Structure 1
Amino acid sequence: MLQRFELLLDPFPPDEPQPPPKGLFSFLWACTQGSRRYLAALALLSAAVSIYEAWLFAFLGQVVDLLSVWQAGAAASSNERRVLWGIAAVLALSVGLVGLRTMVQHQVLAINLPLRLRWNFHRLMLRQSMSFFSDEFAGRVTAKVMQTALAVREVLLTFTEIVLGISVYFITIVALAGGFDLRLMLPFIGWILLYGLAMLYFVPRLGKVGQEQAHARSSMTGRVSDAYSNIATVKLFSHTRREAQFARAAMEDFKETGFRQMRLVSRFEIVNQALVAALIFTSGGYALWLWHGGQIGVGAVAAVMAMALRVNGMSQWIMWEMTSLFENIGTVQDGIATLSRVAKVQDAPGAPALKVTRGEVEFDRIGFNYNGERQVLDGLSLTVRPGEKIGLVGRSGAGKSTLINLLLRFYDLDSGRIRIDGQDISQVTQDSLRGAIGMVTQDTSLLHRSIRDNIAYGLPDADDAQVRAAAVRAQADEFIRHLSDPQGRSGYDTLVGERGVKLSGGQRQRIAIARVMLKNAPILLLDEATSALDSEVELAIQESLKEIMKGKTVIAIAHRLSTIAAMDRLVVMDQGRIVEEGSHAELLRKNGIYARLWRHQSGGFLGEESAEAAA
């Protein structure tokens, strides 16, 4: 039965999620999509259980009244039997009621709801633009995805149990007290009003400090995660102590918010205890006074005292639950700004998939700047013919990598158009665009998975033979067969570590090249593709690259000009514009920027004399 309830709410809905709204209540409402019927059922069941628990005090009063007149050893009267059978029936039904509530709460919602939210939040973050991740810590984003989902669950369940269930509970208690004597309602009503005023004072303040604490927690997590992600740099510069102090500054901020929160909690607890003591004294004393006057029975005194004592325990629980509620609300509010952010780069409505038939790439008077701060490209036009292989040359900051990023549509243009086979890339789906492009970068990043999974990332349906063939062509098979990890995996099953840290730079580059070879996309981008390789391996890889470049449109960036000198055409960029075009020999004869860059090559590359000879 429990497993059937666990299957009622799908934690991994297939529909693509939409960015949630920014308002707190509208955000929470959006998060309940697909689970609202179960939350409503939980609310009704919690209210029913609250009525049942409060009604037990009325039965307690009836039992005490029965005992006061029931003689020991005497047979039970019909009235006494009716009361006892009524209590037994209610207790029996309560098992089913409480069982149903706990199955809805713990089997349907407790695990499935936060998993559902994390699944949706994670998919939203994966769709974010590159500029989003440039401005955020990976650890901070991860913390918000994980923490916000859990906080939403706690807010919804606490609201259902506290605000709805306990409200019904207190209303029932007041009504039952009034059933004995209307005047017995007064102490409970007075306590509810004063407790409500205390909540109005403390809870918003706890919510505010909870939000500040959530922000401090995510900053602390981000700093710690950043140090771990860049541990090689930290070790290289001997900055372990500095990183510890950097994290400590965030921990100090978290500590201050924690102390402020606990001060409020202590004050709230003292006020709460004072109110409860006053309730027990006034309700118990008033009930005894009415009993002494013969206006109520001894059962009413027992029931009222039991109610007051129960409120004593529940008020402490409510206080902590409300504190937790507003701390979780603070966590949700802290996560909303990140999780509700709309991706800057969006597919056009109804965008079709890109269809590459020839592989022509056209940059038509494009303009681009980063956040309005610096104009990187200004009116640049360039056409790469189908199957043509061009090399982009220029000083750092000339706009070469930006041109590649715009072709991949990591950013949207400020002006102009980029077309592939006449199709505006802003009007086709991003997935189909990037599926038609293979790229090898200088900073190769691998997933913390097996060698096989990393190579097959270029073609997920590839079999082992295809993966191995790609590795052989990339000159990677030999070193892969000798790899192993501490878990006993070896060869293509070896895990590479976070970002491929277990491999050398050259090994990572060869894995990346194998991945692109397996993808076999019609357009190939090379950004310093062989920069991490030694000369002998580079020579072998160059032969492999020549093979996969056949029949493809290729755009290559290289600071070592010797690696792209044989391209069909070289395009020289400077300050976001094209200043020279032509073959290697033609550009040397022009004696412009390219010729100067070529002459400056040294340390094992062709020098000035070779350049002049080539001219």
Structure 2
Amino acid sequence: MGQAFERQLWPYPDDAPLTSAQQQPVPTGFFAFLWDCAKGSRRWLAAMTLCTALVGVFEAVLFALMGQLVDWLGHLDPARLWDDKGATLVGLVVLLLASTVLVALGTLIKHQVLAANFPMRLRWRFHRLMLAQSMGFYQDEFAGRVAAKVMQTALAVRDCWFILGDILVFVTIYFVTLVAVLGGFDLWLVLPFALWLTLYVLALSYFVPRLGRVGRAQADARSLMTGRVTDAYTNITTVKLFSHARREADFAKSAMQEFMQTAHSQMRLVSAVEVVNHALSIALVAGTAGVALALWGQGAVGVGAVAAATAMALRLNGMSHWVMWEMSSLFENIGTVQDGINTLSRPHTVVDAPQAQPLTVPHGEVRFEAVTFAYGGKQAVVDGLDLTIRPGEKIGLIGRSGAGKSTLVNLLLRFYDPESGRILIDGQDIRTVSQDSLRAHIGMVTQDTSLLHRSVRDNILYGRPDASEAEMVEAAARAQASAFIPNLADAKGRTGFDAHVGERGVKLSGGQRQRIAIARVILKDAPVLVLDEATSALDSEVEVAIQASLDQLMEGKTVIAIAHRLSTIAAMDRLIVLDEGRIAEEGDHASLLALGGIYARLWAHQSGGFLGED
């Protein structure tokens, strides 16, 4: 039965947004965000709430029935109990059995349908939402911090719904029914509960918002702490290379101390809540018992009413602790949700146009028209640049650091949108086509190669997941990776193409990572190829072998190559020299040398490991 209920809510709905064109703005209001998150799960949340409300009514009515039973026992002859009250007793047994079924249904809905599936639906949605975020977003955020927000917010949303739709509904219905039952005995019995409720609400209004503020601060401090710790692990090679383990520990410690301050503030409030709550509960039990006994002494109520009222007060004694903690948890979760909203609702700066169509590349012409871009600052990195790359032409981008070479590539890949001007591929403005189709038609090998913590096979097939095993092996061979792949092994005994490469490919050398990245691009076989220091991590012998493969790969493609080693791009069809975001010089190697400008000076400076002019 449990499995049947678990299958009622699918945790990975197909309608979850994937591309930026499908993304809907995330509501920034708390309740609007909760309601939006409940999409697809609302009927189950409503069913859980209904079951909870019915159980609350049952519990209060049960006390009334037990009070009647005590009255019966006080004046009925035991031998006539079943004769006079048999039908009522049978009805009570049936009611108890029905309540068991009701509780079972409620817990199946809560724990089988919702507890795991509901937050997983949210993680699935939030993760896809974050995958569509721009590169600029991730340059301003810790990866660990974003991951923590995705995980924490999903659980906090679930817990908010559980507290609001399950626990608070139960308490509210229970208390209303309780007052009705006590009023049926005598209205004076309601007085202690009314006074207790007033003081209890005042206590809640004082403590809960303060706990909520501390909860929000704690959620943010927890995210910062997690982000700093994760950042150290992600860059563990750099940490060890510079012997900065102590420095990183201290860097994390400052975030831990900030978290501890929020934790201590929270615990001080918790201690105060415990004392105040217990005092109110004791006052309720004593007040209820005192009023009930006084009424019984006057003959206004029977023994059953005294027993029922006292039992209800004792039940509220335990329930009040539960409610106070749940309310504190609610406001802590509210803080976590609001903290998550700040990240999840950040607008996507690079989005697909409405009804964006797939890019088609029959020829491969790339054109930059009056493109200007400044990364949000005042100084333009690319300033009114005009450049046309003919179909099949191979150009080299040259310039000092900061001249705008990588920025041009980032704009072509639409990691950023130009502030003015436009970029066209075969006459199609890249802002009018889908980002996925744009990047599918561009192959890129970067200097800083990052691999996924998966198998070698998975990393190569990332270029074209539907490629056959033979095509994947051939791509590895063309990238000169076949020599080392069979010798790879990981901690779990996987070898060769099945061996995992570690986070960001840390188990491989720089040259090995580069060759797998080149194999990935060879397999992708995109019509536009970008090489950003593609062979920089390779030794000379391997570079010569791979250069032949790259020459084959470049055949019939439009190629943009960036290299600081000018000898690697000197043979390109055309060289573009950038300076302060503009084209300073262009032409082939010989003509630029004859010009005696920036390129000639850069070439003259090449020495040592950088080949000079023959």
TM-score of Structure 1 vs Structure 2, range by shorter chain: over 0.9
Aligned to 1:49: 55
Aligned to 1:411: 416
Equivalent residue letter for 1:286: V
Q: Any conservation in 2 of the 1:21–1:340 contact (CA below 8 Å)?
A: yes
Q: Which runs of 5+ in 2 are unaligned?
A: 18-23
Aligned to 1:253: 258
Counterparts in 2 of 1:270-309, with a 5 A limit? Answer: 270-309=275-314
Determine the C-alpha separation between the residues in 1 that align with 2:611 and 2:491: 44
| Corresponding residue to 2:459 among 454, 459, 471 | 454
Counterparts in 2 of 1:50-129, with a 5 A limit? Answer: 50-72=56-78, 74-129=79-134
Determine the C-alpha separation between the residues in 1 that align with 2:217 and 2:557: 53
Determine the C-alpha separation between the residues in 1 that align with 2:27 and 2:85: 59
- Deviation at 1:171? 0.7
Aligned to 2:269: 264
Counterparts in 2 of 1:77-226, with a 5 A limit? Answer: 77-226=82-231
Aligned to 1:33: 39
* 1:525 is aligned to 2:514: no
Instruction: Decide which moves more: 160-169 or 391-400.
Output: 160-169
Determine the C-alpha separation between the residues in 1 that align with 2:583 and 2:424: 18
| Corresponding residue to 2:30 among 24, 33, 44 | 24
Equivalent residue letter for 2:58: Y
Determine the C-alpha separation between the residues in 1 that align with 2:305 and 2:496: 79
For the residue of structure 2 that corresponds to 1:572, the secondary structure is strand
Q: Any conservation in 2 of the 1:19–1:124 contact (CA below 8 Å)?
A: no
Determine the C-alpha separation between the residues in 1 that align with 2:360 and 2:141: 34
Determine the C-alpha separation between the residues in 2 that align with 1:497 and 1:60: 65
1:373-422 Cα shifts (integer Å, max 9, x gaps): 43101110000000000000000000000000000000001011100000
Aligned to 1:10: 10
- Deviation at 1:605? 2.8
1:230-261 Cα shifts (integer Å, max 9, x gaps): 00000001111111111010010110011111
- Deviation at 1:162? 2.6
* 1:542 is aligned to 2:547: yes
* 1:332 is aligned to 2:337: yes
Determine the C-alpha separation between the residues in 1 that align with 2:256 and 2:166: 33
Determine the C-alpha separation between the residues in 1 that align with 2:603 and 2:177: 88
Determine the C-alpha separation between the residues in 1 that align with 2:311 and 2:82: 26
| Corresponding residue to 1:486 among 491, 516, 530 | 491
Instruction: Decide which moves more: 193-202 or 108-117.
Output: 193-202
Determine the C-alpha separation between the residues in 1 that align with 2:271 and 2:183: 33
Determine the C-alpha separation between the residues in 2 that align with 1:100 and 1:350: 45
Equivalent residue letter for 2:506: V
- Deviation at 1:292? 1.2
Determine the C-alpha separation between the residues in 1 that align with 2:202 and 2:609: 80
Determine the C-alpha separation between the residues in 1 that align with 2:3 and 2:292: 49
Instruction: Decide which moves more: 242-251 or 53-62.
Output: 53-62
For the residue of structure 1 that corresponds to 2:381, the secondary structure is strand
For the residue of structure 2 that corresponds to 1:204, the secondary structure is helix
Determine the C-alpha separation between the residues in 2 that align with 1:62 and 1:478: 87
- Deviation at 1:77? 4.7
Equivalent residue letter for 1:314: M
For the residue of structure 1 that corresponds to 2:271, the secondary structure is helix
Counterparts in 2 of 1:311-330, with a 5 A limit? Answer: 311-330=316-335
- Deviation at 1:322? 0.9
- Deviation at 1:165? 1.5
* 1:401 is aligned to 2:413: no
- Deviation at 1:86? 1.9
Instruction: Decide which moves more: 411-420 or 264-273.
Output: 264-273
1:479-517 Cα shifts (integer Å, max 9, x gaps): 001100110100000000000000000000000000000
Determine the C-alpha separation between the residues in 2 that align with 1:224 and 1:83: 64
- Deviation at 1:4? 1.8
Equivalent residue letter for 1:297: G
Determine the C-alpha separation between the residues in 2 that align with 1:435 and 1:184: 74
For the residue of structure 1 that corresponds to 2:511, the secondary structure is helix
Aligned to 2:21: none
Instruction: Decide which moves more: 110-119 or 50-59.
Output: 50-59
Determine the C-alpha separation between the residues in 2 that align with 1:343 and 1:289: 68
Determine the C-alpha separation between the residues in 2 that align with 1:85 and 1:529: 83
- Deviation at 1:70? 3.2
Q: Any conservation in 2 of the 1:442–1:527 contact (CA below 8 Å)?
A: yes
For the residue of structure 1 that corresponds to 2:423, the secondary structure is strand
| Corresponding residue to 1:231 among 236, 250, 253 | 236
Equivalent residue letter for 2:576: V
- Deviation at 1:179? 1.1
- Deviation at 1:372? 2.6
* 1:445 is aligned to 2:450: yes
Instruction: Decide which moves more: 15-24 or 367-376.
Output: 15-24
1:89-123 Cα shifts (integer Å, max 9, x gaps): 11010111001101110111101100000000000
Determine the C-alpha separation between the residues in 2 that align with 1:585 and 1:253: 61
Q: Any conservation in 2 of the 1:283–1:305 contact (CA below 8 Å)?
A: yes
- Deviation at 1:269? 1.6
Q: Any conservation in 2 of the 1:470–1:514 contact (CA below 8 Å)?
A: yes
1:47-88 Cα shifts (integer Å, max 9, x gaps): 00011111111121112112212334x143543212311210
* 1:512 is aligned to 2:517: yes
Q: Any conservation in 2 of the 1:19–1:339 contact (CA below 8 Å)?
A: no
Determine the C-alpha separation between the residues in 2 that align with 1:208 and 1:162: 22
- Deviation at 1:163? 2.2
1:431-480 Cα shifts (integer Å, max 9, x gaps): 00000000000000000000000000000011211111000000001100
- Deviation at 1:192? 1.0
* 1:432 is aligned to 2:437: yes
- Deviation at 1:604? 3.2
Determine the C-alpha separation between the residues in 2 that align with 1:393 and 1:46: 69
Q: Any conservation in 2 of the 1:387–1:552 contact (CA below 8 Å)?
A: yes
Determine the C-alpha separation between the residues in 2 that align with 1:373 and 1:69: 92
Q: Any conservation in 2 of the 1:211–1:331 contact (CA below 8 Å)?
A: yes
Aligned to 1:569: 574
Q: Which runs of 5+ in 1 are unaligned?
A: none
Determine the C-alpha separation between the residues in 2 that align with 1:314 and 1:101: 19
